[in-house]
Amino acid sequence: MHKETFSSLQRFLFIGVLIGVSVLFIWVLMPFVMSVFWAVVLAIILYPIFLRLSARFKRPTLAALSTMLIALIIVGVPLYLIGTRTVIEGLDLYHRVTSGELSVSTLTEAPFVVTVLDTFGIVPSDVTAELTSFIQNAGGTLATEALVVGKATANVFLKGGVMLYLLFFFLRDGAALVLYLQRIIPFGDERERILFKRFTSTTRAVIKGTLIVSLAQGFVGGVLFAIVGISNPILWGVLMAFCATIPAIGPFIVWLPAGLLLLATGSLWQALVVILGGIFIIGTVDNVIRPLLVGRDIEMPDALVLLAILGGVATFGIAGIIIGPVIGALFLSIWDLFGKDFSEEIALHG
């Protein structure tokens, strides 16, 4: 009896130490938690490419380095260029508004716009003030963030280097790492396989069905804006891409007002290009490409996806677009497993 009590005490203390050390280790890694997260996400996305290159080269190290180089050329460089250009155009728009070169009132006080606003009981001057304030605040935030990033260049490169370093090992040793995690996590092999499958499928679905489609919609929107001569098209394209990631909002919140304002100011063919392009091209990208890319990989209700994305962005910033749905999918998976086990337990003892 004493031996059993002592054994239970030892087990309790060991679990307590295990939890304490794990929490302490996570706390130490907190400055690099986003580097670890993005390395895991990129490893999941790039792993099929790594497997093909590994089969061709017969050398996992060379295959991992080649995979990272391909991703850097195809994704990293364009994103860097687009991000740089977005900051430049955002600051340009901010300076044009604050200097008075661009007046929001010329748009909000157009006869057509005034008629529409009066229909809904909205005062045009209030809209002018709100839009001006929004642009100034957004531009000021953009300038501040750009300054912060500029001052923290060393920190950005450090975290980026950590991410790339981890990505290399996740690609090269990913299969062994997964097997190791399955061995030490006490959930049972079947549950672990289900959770891992749900995590990887949700991550791929979010990347393919949210980011790729959103970037495609933002690209088309930016091209349409450039065709009709709207200034800062890359900035507006990026804004449309961001809005496209959020269910029930979408890029129309940017291109539709732009088309209506062009129509209100007498730019007829430009308005038709933006509105018809938004309906038949940008809308087609979402309605046709998204189902093909996503399929049934992400089995979550649209309402939960919306809440997961909004909550993720509010908590984790831009990375929350991915983190939110992934956490939501894991939440549903764990509760599904619990419900299944609980039902089987009731059936067994009922």
| Short-list 262, 231, 256, CA closest to 91 | 231
State how far the alpha carbon of 298 is from the alpha carbons of 245, 305, 329, 342, in Å. Answer: 15, 9, 8, 24
Contact 222, 234 (CB under 8 A): yes
Mean pLDDT, contiguous 10-residue spans, the chain (350 residues): 60 83 87 85 88 90 92 83 78 69 59 63 66 63 57 69 90 85 74 76 75 86 90 86 77 83 80 89 77 58 76 80 80 77 64
Q: Where are the alpha helices (DSSP H) in 185-244?
A: 189-206, 213-227, 233-244
Tokens of 137: 């605040």
The predicted pLDDT at position 224 comes to 92
The predicted pLDDT at position 349 comes to 63
Angle at which helices 320-349 and 302-316 pack, to 10 degrees? 130
Contact 323, 316 (CB under 8 A): yes
The predicted pLDDT at position 144 comes to 60
| Short-list 98, 131, 93, 91, CA closest to 113 | 131
Q: For the segment 153-176, what is each residue's pLDDT rounded down to a tens digit?
A: 667 678 888 888 999 999 998 888
Q: Which amino acid is at 277?
A: G
Q: For the segment 5-15, what is each residue's pLDDT rounded down to a tens digit?
A: 556 777 788 88
- Here the contacts of 178-187 (C-beta below 8 Å, separation 24 or greater) are none
Q: Where are the alpha helices (DSSP H) in the chain?
A: 2-29, 33-57, 60-71, 77-98, 105-108, 111-119, 124-151, 153-184, 189-206, 213-227, 233-244, 252-264, 268-277, 283-284, 290-294, 302-316, 320-349
The predicted pLDDT at position 51 comes to 92
Coil, helix or strand for 302?
Answer: helix
Residue 274 CA to residue 262 CA, distance in Å, equals: 9
Is the alpha carbon torsion for 47, 53, 54, 59 positive or negative? negative
The predicted pLDDT at position 50 comes to 92
Q: Tokens 């049934």 — which residue? A: 296
